[in-house]
Structure 1
């Protein structure tokens, strides 16, 4: 079989379908159908498609996805962002870089209860942007840090991208993936904060209004606003780490906790319930369709023999792990210019999983590597989703927002090399994880 012809046809059909506006999940099924028709002897393609879609849809681990999405949708409609800013700003004001750090820390905290980059960006941004503008912080720094730090929603558990990766790859624990993202997520947030601190000292345009002094006791008093969300984070993550709950059970606990938080804040009403439920159903259905397409694509690729052939081809090039990862880094950055993160993961894993296994790369570590490069795609034009969300919030031109976010993009590239140099950042917590249900 001429595998070059197969790859050319595969890409041509894929981009034709995507370019014509077909949904990503349907496009994957279309590519799979063409591949099986042209390059296999299968006579039961329709039956195979139904079987693969059903197998992918009945996964118990997949049930965590809509629950975590619902939790984020509920919290998005509470006063969480306002309370977080009140609790964080007194502690951030005196740091080099001032209240811009509230963007980064706020996104880090909300990422731990949302799992969604867009929800994190919108929730934190709707409060922080007016406050930072009022205090005369540079607009590029306000926008850039918010767009960049919001991507932490893809890494810090519960991450929707990590759930999708865990469902797509056989034999990978979602709980271990969650904990693999904790330390890299905190390190990346720290790198963002270091950049802000250095920029504030070197930039001549840095001249924000001075904050009024606040006593230590007043700071502690304001910190009470952070207690509900911190308790929710500790409950959801702690239940998994201590072995009391599977990811799906922890997600259910998170939904209940989110409703309790909404009740405490006075946000619990029929409109909140309706909007959060509809939002969760739409997002979950979109991701489920992509995963269904991925399952059929993975089956079709295995039938054609392309992944095995690609793995043998790359093995013949005798790449070291480092250079293989560099090739994949460039590949994912380019792909991220045209596809969203979840679509990128499920589309490529069908072909690249055997390559990664053959190279001896730890699949838990590789999941974090994938998330970092997918984070880059969130702020990469022309499709970077965070750029579109930020444009809707600020009315700035796309080019201005992309330039403001570019330093965050470069910090993420640096983070890839940090992960390669210190792989224990991603593997230490999972390796020492207490075993529990579904772990």
Structure 2
């Protein structure tokens, strides 16, 4: 490696880890998890199987748990699955999914749940393995530490594609997620500590990559919300505890919003958050804080306190900036937002007319924001907006979809792209290219 490449790599690592509280991912290399290969074909499974679930469960129980440093392996091919599996425990192991698993039962719940794992890697070596859900939740990783999931394709779950529930030190990357044009089809939902999520494409009509509570030290970057509901923090209610979050290099093509912080009353806090380098085009909403979000039942508190929130380097447009503002900051009257900063935010409307809205919000960079330290509540202020001097028509990506996928037709299985933000390559190469 040349000195320039080395310096560039060190700068990237430094910039990444500055947002995290420590290292992420497995603590041992993938090569150390290949001493025993637990092939599902040796545990009752077969290519073309009507139900690969029992073979996955058997390979895990009778092989992975008995051999540290092992890999549970589903070879390339097509498999149906009727029995959902929960893989509980295990340390220093991997799940290699090179085949395509298709749901073949009406059962709800999680098709594959991984619980209490440590030093764990879930991946596809050919960057083509995945799950065709046709209905239920696909993958849930629960209270696990020091892990990664990458190079997988998740298709058609109207009840969450990937859920990361608590735990710590995880990395998610090189993922393609495709759901229907349907609410509840979340792409990635994450809560926990010290997570790095990058190079992910999501198509659906709900959450793209969204942080839930409680959460701290999470870095999310190079995200492509391609006809998606858009990324968010929330929805938030009582006892919210979210801090030290960074979203950067997020590209949104169509859908609900460029980004939203959403709650309805409640209590707790969201603080120390940076939203940097956002590009969006043709979304319904743009930069949207809504602490009276009507789709959520009200919490019992006066409001979630938002503070030290920065939006930097935004370029984008909404469909109709009068009907739905390109920027609105609607904060809770019982817990006004403060230290809200907009820096080089150039959001506009495809109709060439727009308004901006603020309520109980304090900070700089938007005309309707109030200044001062009293932070008392104030009624909603709606102001006519002019096109920002720095606004330019948002760039596009070659794989941009013109619309989402209908609920009454099969969703095609995509390939994993090699770029997730205009002009930037993926951070880690696809596994098939290693």
> In which range does the TM-score fall when normalised by the shorter chain?
under 0.3
Q: Name whichever structure is richer in strand by fraction.
A: 2
Q: Name whichever structure is richer in helix by fraction.
A: 1
Q: TM-score, normalised by structure 2?
A: 0.21
Q: TM-score, normalised by structure 1?
A: 0.21
Which structure has more RCO (C-alpha within 8 Å, separation ≥ 6)? 1
